[in-house]
Structures are given as structure tokens and as C-alpha cells.
Amino acid sequence: MAGKKQFDMDTALDAAMIQFWRAGYADTSVDDLSRATGLNRSSIYSSLGDKDTLFLRCLDRYAARYGDKYDAALSCAASEPLAAVRAFFDVTLERIADPELPDGCLIAQSAMAIPVLSPAVAAHARQALGFQRLRLRAALKAGRMTDQDAETFAVYAAAVNQSLAVMSRAGASPVQLLAIVDVTVDALSQALRAQRGRC
């Protein structure tokens, strides 16, 4: 029975995550979550928590799921920083292209909703957004960028990554999104060449 309950919990959390991802925090009610998960309101509160608690669990679930993929993509950064950053963006492009998933990005949506979130949830959304910058910064430093250049480019690349989700939700085509990535990777290539020239 414990195994079945765990499976049901995972299914319910995934359904809640998709609901928040599709509609956003503010436009998702507990009734929406009830319809999405198949659980009644009392079961949601007793098993998953109140709306804020459930949203935090979904945000953590999303960040962990895609964080693992981003980490794998960036794992070759020490030897191939350009390939690593392109692979990082490929994770986002593949997620955007998946017809089974909502458009956009749950973390990007959460960041844009910070003014209407409770202080605790807003802080969590900021932290989730910050993980991308930290992940990119570590990868770029491994690729032998200076601390300052790695920080600057990590902020830039993280912003571009979030913009891909926003642009896709606004109707940008896959070709347009790929062009944005190409420009960003080219900018990194130029930055790496300039840095080598200074050494």
C-alpha cells in the first residue's frame, strides 16, 4: 500500500505542477487543483498542504527535474564551454517544443508573479531563478572564464534562457528561438576569444 500511495502522490504533484505551470499561481484556485489532481479539497489540504505549500512543492519539483538536465548539459563545460552552453539551451528548447507540456517556464512565470506572492513564496521563486545563474557561473568558471566574466555572462545567459520561455508563450517560432540561442552562443564565443587574447 505504501508504494501505491507514493505513486499517487507523485501523480498528484505532477498534475498540480502542470496546473500551476499552465495557469500561473494567481490564476490557479484550490478548485482548479482539485480538478487537476482528482483529489477533493480536504484531501489536497491533508495530503499536499495549502495552496502556498503545494506551490512550493511544485516549484521544487520543477527546479529539480530540469536542474538535473541542465547540470548534465553543462557537465562538459571545462573542456567544451560553448558546447555546454548550447546543450544548456537545448534543454529549454526541447522542453518548449514538447507538445505534452505547457508553454513557458514555471520559474519564469513565478518570477513575474513575485509582486502578488507571499513573502515566503516570492523568496523561494527568487532562489529558484538564482540557481540557473549559479549553475551557469560555475560552468563558465570551469571553462576558464574569469570570475567577473563568468558572473556577467551567467546573468546574461540566465536572462536569455528565461526569455525563451516568455517568447515561446508569446508565439515565437522554433526558428526564432533558435536564432536567439545562436546569437547568445556567438557572444560567448567572442567573449572566450577576447579573454584568451588578454592572457
Q: Does residue 197 carry a pLDDT above 70?
A: no
- pTM given for the model: 0.86
Residue 48 lies in a domain: no
The total number of structural domains that make up the chain: 1
Is residue 110 pLDDT above 80, yes or no? yes
In a domain, 9, yes or no: no
For 129, residues 6+ apart whose C-beta sits below 8 A from its C-beta are 107, 108, 110, 111, 158, 162
Would the pLDDT of 7 be above 60?
Answer: no
Residue 134 is part of a domain; what is its CATH number? 1.10.357.10
Domain assignment present for 139: yes
Mean pLDDT calculated for residue range 90-102: 94
User: Does pLDDT of 12 surpass 90?
Assistant: yes
What number is the average pLDDT over the span 5-9? 60
Within-domain flag for 149: yes
Q: What is the pLDDT of residue 198?
A: 66
**Lowest-confidence region among 77-81, 96-100, 128-132, 191-195:** 191-195
pLDDT at 1: 42
| pLDDT of the residue at 191 | 87
Range of the structural domain that residue 97 is part of: 56-197
Does any domain span residue 172? yes
**pLDDT over 80 (residue 5):** no
pLDDT band at 73 (very low <50, low <70, confident <90, very high): very high
Q: Let me know if residue 2 belongs to a domain.
A: no
For residues 87-102, average pLDDT: 95
User: Could you tell me if residue 99 is inside a domain?
Assistant: yes
CA distances from 56 to 49, 90, 165, 197 (A): 10, 26, 20, 45
Residue 26 falls within a domain, yes or no? no
Lowest-pLDDT range, 55-64, 71-80, 106-115?
106-115
Cα 168 to Cα 75, 102, 176: the distances in Å are 26, 10, 9
Residue-level pLDDT at 20? 96
